[in-house]
């Protein structure tokens, strides 16, 4: 009985989140509720959760909205997709790259220690993208790794993967490559 209970907890909706409405999921493709982008998981069956239930597009009150995505395989990866909108947002360029580490540190919990931060611009034909990664050490001593990409301009999409090892998960690159802008960011 305890194994069954453990499995139910593992696959339960994460605290503070709600399953994304089915109308935004088509097979392995997620269509952003505001119509700005689409992105695919590596296979069907991945679960999408709204990190702030009901918050489906950035607006005057919410500068960002986020989704948590997890593999149906308990040993698979999970990642987050965050969409931001700011009419005065800077383009992704060398200047933007210089602010990445400080902005990343601000976004983490106060007790999280960041180390081994690195960032690089990727010149994608339609819009610049930045790839960054870092190690996070929690107050408890638990170590994790973050691998992230940001692309866009006024509208930006961030794809952030979580891993327990310092190698970027292959699936994360496949997710990033699948991102399609439906409108000019």
Q: All domains of the chain, ordered by start, with CATH? A: 15-181 (3.40.1000.10)
- From the first residue on, what is the mean pLDDT of each consecutive set of 10 residues in the chain (185 residues)? 36 83 95 95 92 85 90 88 92 90 88 93 78 94 94 93 92 91 87
**Any idea how long the chain is?**
185
**Which pLDDT score, from 0 to 100, does residue 3 have?**
36
Nearest to 176 by CA among 143, 127, 134: 127
Work out the mean pLDDT of the chain and round it to a whole number.
87
**Which pLDDT score, from 0 to 100, does residue 22 have?**
93
Q: What is the pTM of this model?
A: 0.88
Separation CA 170–CA 154 (nearest Å): 28
**Is residue 37 within 8 Å of 14, Cβ to Cβ?**
no
**Which pLDDT score, from 0 to 100, does residue 124 have?**
67
Q: What's the first-to-final CA gap in the chain, in angstroms?
A: 50
**Which pLDDT score, from 0 to 100, does residue 160 have?**
95
**Which pLDDT score, from 0 to 100, does residue 185 have?**
77
What is the per-residue pLDDT across 111-146, written as a single tens digit (0 to 9) for each? Answer: 899 999 999 998 765 678 999 999 999 999 999 999
């Amino acid at each position: 009985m305890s194994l069954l209970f453990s499995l139910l907890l593992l696959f339960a909706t994460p605290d503070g989140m709600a399953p994304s409405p089915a109308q935004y999921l088509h097979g392995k493709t997620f269509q952003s509720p505001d119509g700005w982008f689409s992105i695919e998981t590596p296979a069907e069956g991945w679960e999408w959760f709204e990190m702030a239930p009901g918050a489906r597009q950035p607006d005057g009150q919410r500068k960002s909205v986020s989704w948590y995505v997890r593999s149906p395989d308990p040993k698979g990866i999970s990642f987050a997709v965050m969409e931001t909108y700011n009419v005065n947002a800077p383009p992704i360029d060398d200047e933007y790259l210089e602010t990445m580490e400080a902005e990343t540190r601000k976004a983490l919990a106060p007790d999280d220690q960041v180390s081994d931060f690195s960032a690089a611009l990727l010149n994608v034909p339609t819009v610049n993208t930045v790839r960054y990664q870092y190690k996070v050490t929690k107050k408890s001593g638990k170590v994790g790794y973050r691998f992230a990409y940001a692309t866009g301009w006024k509208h930006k999409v961030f794809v952030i993967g979580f891993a327990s090892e310092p190698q970027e998960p292959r699936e994360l690159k496949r997710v990033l490559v699948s991102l399609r802008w439906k409108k000019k960011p």
